[in-house]
Amino acid sequence: MTSGPPINNGVTFTKVLHHDTYPFIDPTKVNHAGHYVFISGGSKGVGRATAIAFAQAGAGGIALGARSDFGDIEKEIATAAQKAGKQPPRVLKLKLDVMDYSSVEAAAKETEKEFGKLDILINNAGYLSKFKPLLEADMDEHWRNFEINLRGTYFMTRAFLPLMLKGGEKTIINVASRGAHMTFPGGGGYQTTKFALLRFAEFLTAEYGEQGLLTYTVHPTSAMTELGSNMPENAHHLLVDTLQIASDTMCFLTAERREWLAGRYVDCGWDMPEFLSREKEIVEGGKLVMRMVF
């Protein structure tokens, strides 16, 4: 038996891989005026940074859902907007547990009541259990990856989709991971669920694309967040990114509808000028979608 080619997790897709934000994706130069966004997992890490980016870009309203305390996020958002010369957005802070559909449904209803619309949904809430082989992993902890990463994203999408289909930008970003392309021993719970999110985006495109829904998936950042700290210690040296490479890239990409990204995967570390210049190659080559090689 011969071994196959080494696993490619996509980091070399563009010639330059960024680890921090850069002028091309500067949110202060992006226009999100009139856009309303909901970010799950919005109290810390990537979610919190993304709220700041949308404020800098002039979003009209930012709704944040999380189980943990939001701290001074409303003040941080207002300050970020003002420093960028933008009107501070309306901010909606909602206690949200993506594992509880009644909680998610209530958040969707409150968002519709307060905003009347939703342009962009960022399914950012996630979980990563300690890397352990199947027989060594705690069953509940292992399955929690599926409850939050997969079913949580499903719950969020199901609850918010009716509002989104009424009008607006109709854009959903599902936050996945480079881990979706890997089989790192002990990562079966996390990496399997992130892989499933890639196909989920394709199904949303197939089922609701004709109604204007635009869904794609991103790898956000490789940073030492609370979630990232659960990676094996021998992988911690890879966690060198800032939160802003994720937040600013997502803010940049959603500033306009990029129909060609429907159902596709994007790494926030990729160089956006080069990535955008390769649109024709990506579309005609059927790249950045999940397919088995036969």
Nearest one of 138, 145, 271, 125 to 196, comparing CA atoms: 145
Spatial CA neighbour of 178 closest among 141, 217, 143, 144: 217
Query: Which residues are bridge partners to 215 per DSSP?
Result: 172
**pLDDT for the residue numbered 34:** 98
The parent domain of residue 196 ranges over 26-284
For residue 88, what is the domain's CATH number? 3.40.50.720
Q: Render pLDDT for 15-32 as a digit per residue (tens, 0 to 9).
A: 999 999 999 999 999 999
- What Cα–Cα distance (Å) separates residue 171 from each residue in 55, 99, 280? 18, 22, 21
Out of 194, 208, 216, 265, which one is annotated catalytic?
194
- Between CA 262 and CA 47 the distance in angstroms is 22
Active site residue 109: no
Residue 291 lies in a domain: no
Average pLDDT over residues 267-278: 98
Identify whether 278 is part of a domain: yes
Which of 127, 190, 216, 265 is an active site residue? 190
Q: Does 3 fall in a domain?
A: no
Tokens of 232: 């094996």
Instruction: Read off the DSSP letter of residue 174.
Output: E
Q: In 3D, which of 268, 273, 266 has the Cα closest to residue 248?
A: 268
- Please report which confidence band the pLDDT of residue 1 belongs to, taking 50, 70 and 90 as the band edges: very low
Structure tokens at 22: 């850069």
pTM beyond cutoff 0.85: yes
Is residue 293 assigned to a domain? no
Active site residue 194: yes
Residue 16 lies inside a defined structural domain of this protein: no
pLDDT tens readout for residues 72-94 = 999 999 999 999 999 999 999 99
Lowest mean pLDDT among 187-196, 210-219, 233-242: 233-242
For 224, which DSSP code?
-
pLDDT higher than 70, residue 232: no
Domain assignment of residue 239, yes or no:
yes
Pairing of strands 214-219, 90-95: unpaired
For residue 18, being part of any structural domain is answered with no
Specify the 3-state DSSP secondary structure of 53. Answer: helix
User: Which position has the token pair 């204007």?
Assistant: 212
pLDDT averaged over every residue in the chain: 93
Report d(CA 253, CA 173) in Å as an integer: 10
Total count of domains within the chain: 1
Inside any domain, residue 7: no
Please give the Cα distance from 288 to 292 (Å, whole number).
12
Q: What is the pLDDT of residue 6?
A: 55
